[in-house]
Chain A
Amino acid sequence: MTISDRPLTAMIGLPDGPPDCAAYGRAGGWQAVRRTLRDMTPDAVIDMVTASKLRGRGGAGFGTGQKWSFVPKDPAATRRKYLIANADEMEPGTFKDRMLLEGNPLQLIEGMIIAGYAIQAGHGVIFLRGEYHLALERLNRAIAEARQVGWLGENILGSGFGFEIHVHASGGRYICGEETALLTALEGRRAQPRSKPPFPQVGGLWGAPSVVNNVETLCNLPHIVTNGAEWFVSLGLGPDSGTKLYGVSGRVRRPGAWELPMGTPLREIVEDHAGGMRDGYRLRALLPGGASTAFLDVGQIDIPMDYGAVEKAGSRLGTGLAILLDDRTCPVGMLHNLEHFFAQESCGWCTPCRDGLPWVERLLNAIENGTGEPEDLDRLHDHARMLGPMGRTFCAHAPGAMAPLASGLKLFREDFDAHIRQRACPLRHAA
């Protein structure tokens, strides 16, 4: 693979650690920000990113150019605007943004300058999860160096455009990854989501127009500007453009994350890149893109990992990092673990989520530990039906929690029945 086939990770994993400003420039960095600030209008950047068909890499897959286009267009000087990098990577099973943050922080900084220019925001914030200590250290070092060299600050390259970045280390709550909760957290309040409208692009941080983009999304921008929208489209194997950081965790030979063409078949990711299952384990099902995506059955492994194909298969691409369930791990136990996470991380603002998720967790705990009753399955189905669709709760947290549950109840019906019938977990006793 040549460098242009895997632009995001080309400079990651070098023996000397992340590149400094000079090394980043020698390897092709800073070209994009030069071109942006010297030769392009903000609208031209938005048009190019729209033409590249870049979609958000944080999980929702919204068109990046389209997202930016909702920001009111008025001269930067007249209004405070914010560009926020969502680096609150807390989706269980996901470790891609950490790779980008630790491996090449300047790539994110360059992407943020480009995005900031496109929406004419002078203020950049990196919302970083508090557990990422190494990323925090490397980001702060990279920002300080970029400021010293002149890539950040006032009047960058004499363009008249000024941009500053500061890092906010979070106190740690999953819901902060939701963009409106993230904004609330930055304002120094309990990080509960807000109702939309107003959308952040119009009324975001401190009421000012704000765009929240995922780290991987932003890291794609320098490469799109340098190589063009057509090149970016050509990288994808199917309808979606670019590359994607895909990954696998669970009982495979080589767990990890790899930058591959968007639309790479799931089977290739699991068998070639992750090396297939370890000896003595068979793949049973998987969550294709994090804890809040629905289970796919082993029989669906030949789908391409793009937004549309995974949705058609009944799940979501999500973060693109798959969690594998093997035949010696109890699916009821796995669901109990997942729902414990969602119940704990519910912000508590709306009743169906605050009370419903712990109820689901208790039911699953009872079934897993052999005290479940057949009616418990009806209660689980009730929750999946009532909390699953968007709009029944204040934000997407509960629907995310119901995705693995609803799909798991279907896929693992026999396992649920066996737990209730035998009044024990069959797998735990066999292990």
Chain B
Amino acid sequence: MSMQAEPLTRRGKKGTGAGPENKEVGQDRKQKTQGRAAALLIIPSMIVLGIVIVYPVVDAIVMSLQKDAGLDPATGSFVAGGFAGLYNYIHWILQQCNTPGGQASCPAGTLGSQFWSATGTTFLLTVITVALETVIGFWMAIIMSRTFRGRSALRAAVLVPWAIPTAVTAKLWFFIFAFDGIANTLFHTSILWTGSEVPARSAIIIADVWKTTPFMALLILAGLQMIPDQVYEAAKVDGATAWQRFTQITLPLVKPALMVAILFRTLDALRMYDLPAIMTAGANGTTTLSILVVNQIRIGFNSAAALSTITFLIIFIVAFIFVRFLGANAVESATNSGKVK
């Protein structure tokens, strides 16, 4: 019934010709050469990632331990802040600010007072958009995988939202959701899309779902295409209903692709910036962590570096949970490769 069934029979056929001794010799040689081969194959990727990721991350961590430059009241010039220890981290997590009266909780209107609300907003937007994108993307992929006339046109059309640069998309939706914009005109409504919390978040969610569902759909579609038609036909012959076929064949077989798609969408959504920045500028409960980072960069780098590092850790934890407990399959199956073989 499952994918493994077929390869097994295939191996059965071809394997017999090879003979068991041959295999064992191969196994032995494998042990010695595979490590080195793997290293050679992986190194190019590691180097590129190293330059672009490791250096900035290390840089950020070093910076985050420095105080931001403060103003010398006498000269009016900025002077370096010196070593700060974990002050910048405490500042964000406990929402404590330096005030003329000493340490106190950050007053409304400072960036420091927005850390937890931004974290909440980021997670809320992530959960809703990723859930919607997964469901709609799956549905789109199933439709696209069917054979019918105009299928390739549909596939191209679905990619249009994903292909438009994000900055243009954000502008487009900002324009659409203006009070006198096309959305209100078309539906004869007078909703203040960017004027209060629920509509503003909905507008961002709609725009994000529109833009990134194709990404989901395409990855899931590729997964669907790897399932041989014979598997379905066999199931049909066995009298499985459409729902049974979906839950017992499609879902398990697509799961690796699906988990990768969800994992990457989640990581991207947790760093969402352009859409809320352009559509609402973070007003009405739409300030995400990335918006907070950008705003803070304009005020003080070192504190922004701490916030970036915190964001990094939050996303790391989410990814870890994904990979460890929800079985983002690329990792799980890859680490188990020895066993499965």
A associates with B: no
Interface residues of B (CB under 8 A from A): none
Interface residues of A (CB under 8 A from B): none
